[in-house]
Every structure is written in structure tokens, then in C-alpha cells.
Structure 1
Amino acid sequence: MTKFLRTLLQRSYLALIAIPFKLMPSLAYMAFTGRGSTAQLCSHMVRQGFKRVLIVSDKPLVDLGIVARAVDVLTEEGVVCTIYDGILPDPTFAMVDEGLALQAQHNCDAVLAIGGGSSIDCAKTIVSAATNGRNARKLVGYFKVKQAPLALFVLPTTSGTGSEATIAAVISDQHSHEKCFIADPKMLPKAVALDADLLLGMPAGITAATGMDALTHAIETYISLWGTETSNAYGYASVKMIFEYLPRAYREGSDAVAREQMALAAYYSGMAINDAGVGNVHAIAHQLGRQYGTPHGLANALVMPAVLRFMAVAAQAPLARLGRLIEVAAEGDTDQHAAEKFIDAVADLNRRLGIPEQLDSLREEDIPAIAEAAVKEGAGYPVAILMSKKECQAILNTLLASPQGAAALA
């Protein structure tokens, strides 16, 4: 099939699936911000009348006392809390089922997610399945959450996924490791708290990877075919904030101002995804996560410079605007040069944050299959230009920790 025909089919498909997204009502809910907003969110839950809350989190956050900050407030107000701390990176349907069993056993009437994207995505799926047949696998796809979910509230403890603001969740099949998408506006939380106190002291490596995840969302939504005035405003602001505050948060984990600004930036880029979707960076990163267990934010960061160079012509104007926004390009620069300077700035930010240029686990013999899966996934996103399998393989070759990778980077 020629690239022209593939593009024509992709644009027709995108036009069709865009219809329900365009008809969605405005996605708005309550957000508490600032240090100490955890208590505000918990008090809000109490005022809403919830009596039995399932906490969805991970064991490290329980051990660090992060979960207790919310549980203590809720318990003092007479709320019975049940903690499910079995969440691991790339949550599976088995984890969803475990959470559902606890919710049913304790008759929980609301769920509070405390953690990163894995905990939030799992919680979104639990509240949706709880009122829709209790079979999460049947929710895979778009707009399959027919009945209103249980009330969901969110305390993000990383600044990257934006899952606290999106209408989607990603759950993995524990056997095939396939990442399954569930998307429905009913999955949005009732309220969130962006509390910088929960982010202080986050390790530098996690700060870097999650921050670059947020940057990926901001850039991909800004260059998306589905970009709207609203999503572009969110993406534009997020790019500016991340370039300014992510290096600060990386250097000094206790910088409360930088942490708060990064929490807002991740939230903004998550809001942008609801309108504009993601793109080719995610299409490749998801395969690296499935194949090698590469953390999602790190996978996005590794792939992004090469993908943006591949898209530099098709997305030249918006990339040029971003180059001028972060002041690596001057107003007098041509769009081509401004776009190139922005892409170079993304690669430089990776280096400043200690993100490697190659993926040690990537095997050359795996590249054709990874590329084939990434091209298939990317064709379902509102990207300005489709990847061919050969083009995707060339991008992946830049990640090889070998002479081939060095040559591709040259």
C-alpha cells in the first residue's frame, strides 16, 4: 500500500472517530492546588458524604507515609479507609480485579488514587468496572463505560502522566503484556489535588523521566491534527513551564516552587490530551514498555528527539513556535531553523537530565517486530505524518547501544 493511500485511510478513520470526541461536553471538575491541598481534597470528599473509601496506591508510598497523610484526615472525619497497595508499574487486569474484590468486600462508595499514572489508571478502571459488569476487559476501547462509575478522587505523586486529567487509562494484559486502552469521559475524577508536598524529595531519575513524559504530552498535543484552541493553549503553557522548572526540580528535589509548577504542567498537558490525543512517540514507547518493561516516561524521552526530527517538516510551523517560545530561536529565524533548534533543545534537555541516548535492552533482531507494532498503533493517532515500517526502524536504530546506533545518531 502506498504512503498516499495509507494517509488517506488514516485521515478518513480519524475523521470518523473524531465525531464523538467533538460532541463531548466540556470536561471540567474540581482541582485543589498548592501545598497542603491533600487535606482540602479529603475534606471535600467528606462533605460529599462518602463513608467507605478504597485507597488505590503502591507499597512504597504506604511505607513512606504518603498514603497516611490522606488516610489520617479521612479517618479523623469518620471515613472507613481500605488500602489496596498492590499497584506495580504497568498495571494489569489482575490488579484491577484485586482492587475490585476489595471494593466489593468492603462496600466502598468511592475510590481515592494516590500515586503516579499506574495507580491512577488502575483506579479509573476499578471505578468504571465496579458499575459496568465488573469485567474490565469489556471496557477496552472508546466510550464503553455506559453507567456512571463510582466516585473517583486523585492525589498524583509524580508530575508526568497527566492521568489525573485525562479520560483514558492504559491497562496491560498480564500474559501477553499488550497495553489496552480504555477511554470514556465518565472516567474523569470528581476532584484532584496537586499538592507539592507529596512531590518533595522525589528521586532525580524519576523526576527526569516523568517530567519528560509530561513534555512529550505537551509537544504531541501541540503538533496534533486534532489540536484545538484550548488544547494548544494547555500544551503551549506546559512546554514553557517544563523547560523552566524541570531542571530546577531535577537539581533540587525540595524546590517546592518547581514541584508545584511541574504538577501544574503535567496537569495542563493531560488536559490537552483529551482534545488532541498523542502521537508517534507514544506509538513507539508503548512497544518498548511491552517488550522490555522500559518505564513509560523514559521510553518517551529516549524516542522523542528522533521522532521529532522525522516529523520536522510535517510539523514545522508548530515546532518553530515552540522554539521561539522557549527562546532558543529568534523571531528572525526561518521556521525550518526554529523547528530544528527546538528539537535540539529537547535532546539537550534529555542530556541535562541524565537521560541516556541509547536503550541497552534494545536488540537489533527485535526492531522489525517493534516497528511493525508501532506503525500500526501510530496510524490510529492524529499525527501530521505517518511512519512507514522502514522509517520507524531507522528511528529505533538510533537507540541501539552499538555502532549502528552511533551511525544513526550521526
Structure 2
Amino acid sequence: MRWPRRLWCRMFQKSMRLLLPLLPYRNPQILHHIQDIHQVKKNHPLIVTGSHTVQSEGMQELIQQYESVSIFDGVKANPTTDQIGQAYQMYQQEHCDHIIGFGGGSSLDCAKAVAAQIARPQKTIAQMAGVLKVRKKTPLLILIPTTAGTGSETTLAAVVTDSQTHHKYAINDFVLIPDVAILDPVLTLSLPPHLTASTGMDALTHAMEAYMGRSMTKQTRQEALTAIRLIYENILVAYRDGTNRRARKNMLQASYLAGDAFSKSYVGYVHAIAHSLGGQYNLPHGQTNATLLPIVLQAYGHTIDKKLHDIATEIGLADASMPDEKAAQKMIESIRQLDQAMDIPLTIPQIQKQDIPQMARYADQEANPLYPVPVLWDQNELEQIYEQAMDKKRNLDTIKEE
């Protein structure tokens, strides 16, 4: 990246960091059981969910808490503007008075985007993309995650995909921080291993990118480290024994902490690239993050050795006497080992070379100047990451060298 733009990006990021204590961040009210919803509920909710969760025991228990509900169960992976529009119409036509997002990150993000549309009916979803484009109070918003990964139940962001262009982008506004989050580990017990893996690695990516960035605070630093430690201690247990309630509870806590950390300290190029790939090829977000994370960390080079050493020490992979560079490589390799242990691919073969310039342009637009990444890349430099991610031989050679 050329220095004038580099200077602009760093000045913007420094300004955001200085403003951080003044920004209206808040945390949702936390409940731990669906039955507790009686403390906060209104009369008639729109429940936003997917077809695979609408028949679940947890959903039936939720429905029993109300005399009448409306259910939009059309959410797919990577929620689209069309799905948001359909759910919004249902909310209006059936005279709902609050919104419940129930399910994985796609359902929660869709619920948040519907809330944004209700607050700003004169704007399109695309017009609310970016930062602080909503700025009007939303209906009561209750989010109930059934996966432990996205952290959407505590963040100010909703990630959506344009149905026409397939461009994936985020709506970021403080009004989208949910009013209530219900963190019930029982709801995650039925999560199949591959989703346990991908959502857990999504949470790890949130925590890692929050810690790698240049906008950490004392609070977000500790939240990120705690989340990483909890994930390393519990993700393989949850993956291999889905009924282990302690592991499920710890993964849900890690997801929440990681979500809070990146809400304030932001993510980085892993997410920017993953969003473009998800929009283009409809790839699962968590799995894409998991594949990209070690590739991007390796590409950052020695600028992040000290921070990776801190993380490696936190999880017992290194100690203070180990050189930073060695600890950093052990940390990156441990992420690859986690991926392999859970059958997450180390490359993304769906990438088509002719699509890379457009996706890199989207990633550049998303990340710069907002994300306080440790190393600034422009579109041309980002294109190299896509090429690495699609190059199986190159990645295997890197692993062999380490």
C-alpha cells in the first residue's frame, strides 16, 4: 500500500481508537434459559430462523412461552437481502412487536438486519452498509444462539449478502447490539461435529484478529486471550463429544467474549477476505475463516511475532523464554493442526482465478481504512492471499518447511 493511503488509514484508525471510550457501546442483558424470556418479552414476536432449526426442541420450547408468534424460517447460510425483505414484510403484515433471532450466525444477522430495516424503512439494506447508517431505535431484539461461534448476540454488526451482486457486506451500528441474549448451552448440544468445528474456529478467528489489531484495550485484550484459551481447551472435546455440557458452555462463553472483543477492537483481513469468498461462492463463513487464519497470520510476517508469543504462552504452547519467532510459528502451526484434526481443509479450491480481482477489491473496500490490521495491504497485495489460499502445493510446502 502506498504511503499516502497508508497514512490515511492509520490516522483514521487512531481517531477511532481515541473515540472508543466515548462511543455508546453496551452489552445485552444475559439470560441463560429460554424460560427466562418471560422477564423481557412483549406480546407477538417475529422469530427469524432457518428451516433446520424450526422443528427443534428449543424452538418448540420458545414457542410455548407465547400465545401467538410469527415465524420466518427462510434463512439460509449467508443471509440475503431478499430473505431480509421477506422477513420484514412478515413483521409488518402480522403486526409483530419484537424480533427474536434463533439459530446460528446467519439467523441472528438476518434478525438484526430486519431490525435495521424496521428502524429505517425508507432505506435499502445496501444503503445501511458501513458504519452508523441506521442511527434509529430498533424494536426489542432478542438473540438466541444455537451455535458457539459468531458472537452476533453481542456485536453491533449484521453481515448480509446482496441477492443480485452476491457482494457480502456488514451493517455496523450501535442500535444493532441486541437488547437481550439468551446463552443456553443445552441449545448447542445437537450441533453436528462439522458445525461445532467451523463455528468454534469462527470464534477463534474473532479473538485472534481482535488481539492482532492495533486498537486493543485492556478489556478487549483480556477478553480475547480468555476466549482463545477456552477454545483451545474445549473445541476438540465439543467436536468429539457433542454432549459434553461443560465444553459446550465454555465454547458459548468463548464465543460471547470473542464477539465483545472484536466489536470494540475490530477484525482484520481474514474476515474481509472470507466475506468476499462467502458472497461469491456461498462458502460457510466459519470454515473459510479457519482455512484463511493461518495463511493470513503467516503473511503478516514478523510484525505479529510478539502477540502470537503472548497467545502461545496463554494456552501453554510456549513460555517467556522462547524466542518470539519460534513461539509465533508454533502458534500458527497449532491452528493448522486444529483445522486438520476437525477435517477443515487447508485450502479453498473453489476460488477461480478470474474472480480474484473483484473479490480483492471488495476485501480492500471492507477492511481499509476501518480495520486496524497489523500490516496494511492494498488490492494487489490482497490478491496474493487468495492465490495462496487456492494453492494446495504452496500451503503443503509451507507446512513441510515448518
The alignment's TM-score, normalised by the length of structure 2, stands at: 0.93
Question: Does the CA contact (< 8 Å) of 1:398 and 1:408 recur in 2?
Answer: no
Give the Å deviation of 1:45: 2.5
Taking a change above 3 Å as real, the CA distance of residues 25 and 60 of structure 1, as seen in their structure-2 partners, is same
Q: Which residue of 1 aligns with 2:145?
A: 156
CA separation in 1, counterparts of 2:129 and 2:246?
Answer: 38
Give the Å deviation of 1:390: 5.0
Residue of 60, 68, 84 corresponding to 1:96:
84
Map residues 372-383 of structure 1 onto 2, 5 A cutoff.
372-380=361-369, 381-383=371-373
Residue of 53, 78, 101 corresponding to 2:45:
53
Map residues 212-361 of structure 1 onto 2, 5 A cutoff.
212-361=201-350
Match of 1:192, SS state, is strand
Q: Which residue of 2 aligns with 1:135?
A: 123
Q: Which residue of 1 aligns with 2:104?
A: 116
Question: Does the CA contact (< 8 Å) of 1:115 and 1:157 recur in 2?
Answer: yes
Taking a change above 3 Å as real, the CA distance of residues 320 and 140 of structure 1, as seen in their structure-2 partners, is same
Give the Å deviation of 1:373: 3.4
Give the Å deviation of 1:394: 3.6
Q: Which residue of 2 aligns with 1:38?
A: 34
Question: Does the CA contact (< 8 Å) of 1:378 and 1:386 recur in 2?
Answer: no
Match of 1:398, SS state, is helix
CA separation in 2, counterparts of 1:389 and 1:129?
Answer: 31
CA separation in 2, counterparts of 1:136 and 1:15?
Answer: 31
CA separation in 2, counterparts of 1:124 and 1:390?
Answer: 33
Q: How many residues align?
A: 398
Residue of 64, 69, 73 corresponding to 2:56:
64
CA separation in 1, counterparts of 2:380 and 2:45?
Answer: 50
CA separation in 2, counterparts of 1:150 and 1:323?
Answer: 42
Q: Which amino acid aligns with 1:347?
A: R
Question: Does the CA contact (< 8 Å) of 1:398 and 1:406 recur in 2?
Answer: no
Give the Å deviation of 1:325: 0.7
Taking a change above 3 Å as real, the CA distance of residues 290 and 408 of structure 1, as seen in their structure-2 partners, is farther
Q: Which amino acid aligns with 1:238?
A: A
CA separation in 2, counterparts of 1:159 and 1:94?
Answer: 26
Q: CA offsets, 1:3-43, max 9 Å, x none?
A: x333212112323455654421341231123xxx1111x22
Match of 1:387, SS state, is coil
Question: Does the CA contact (< 8 Å) of 1:394 and 1:408 recur in 2?
Answer: no
Residue of 338, 363, 369 corresponding to 2:352:
363
Question: Does the CA contact (< 8 Å) of 1:312 and 1:339 recur in 2?
Answer: no
Question: Does the CA contact (< 8 Å) of 2:346 and 2:395 recur in 1?
Answer: no
Q: Which residue of 2 aligns with 1:83?
A: 71
Question: Does the CA contact (< 8 Å) of 1:59 and 1:86 recur in 2?
Answer: yes
Q: CA offsets, 1:128-171, max 9 Å, x none?
A: 22132353423222222232110000110111110001011112
CA separation in 1, counterparts of 2:280 and 2:162?
Answer: 13
Q: Which residue of 2 aligns with 1:15?
A: 14
Give the Å deviation of 1:264: 0.7
Give the Å deviation of 1:65: 3.6
The alignment's TM-score, normalised by the length of structure 1, stands at: 0.92
CA separation in 2, counterparts of 1:53 and 1:368?
Answer: 43
Q: CA offsets, 1:169-211, max 9 Å, x none?
A: 1121100011132111111111111111110021111110000
Q: CA offsets, 1:62-120, max 9 Å, x none?
A: 13343212011223xxxx21111111111112111111111111211111110111111
Taking a change above 3 Å as real, the CA distance of residues 229 and 17 of structure 1, as seen in their structure-2 partners, is closer
Give the Å deviation of 1:302: 0.6
Alignment partner of 1:395 is 2:395 = no
Taking a change above 3 Å as real, the CA distance of residues 176 and 261 of structure 1, as seen in their structure-2 partners, is same
Match of 1:155, SS state, is strand
Match of 2:386, SS state, is helix
Question: Does the CA contact (< 8 Å) of 2:167 and 2:280 recur in 1?
Answer: no
User: What RMSD over aligned residues (CA atoms) do the two structures have, in Å?
Assistant: 1.9
CA separation in 2, counterparts of 1:199 and 1:350?
Answer: 20
Match of 1:154, SS state, is strand
Question: Does the CA contact (< 8 Å) of 1:21 and 1:275 recur in 2?
Answer: yes
CA separation in 1, counterparts of 2:79 and 2:231?
Answer: 27
CA separation in 1, counterparts of 2:379 and 2:44?
Answer: 50
Alignment partner of 1:5 is 2:1 = no
Question: Does the CA contact (< 8 Å) of 2:30 and 2:183 recur in 1?
Answer: yes
Moved over 6 A (4+): none
Taking a change above 3 Å as real, the CA distance of residues 312 and 327 of structure 1, as seen in their structure-2 partners, is farther
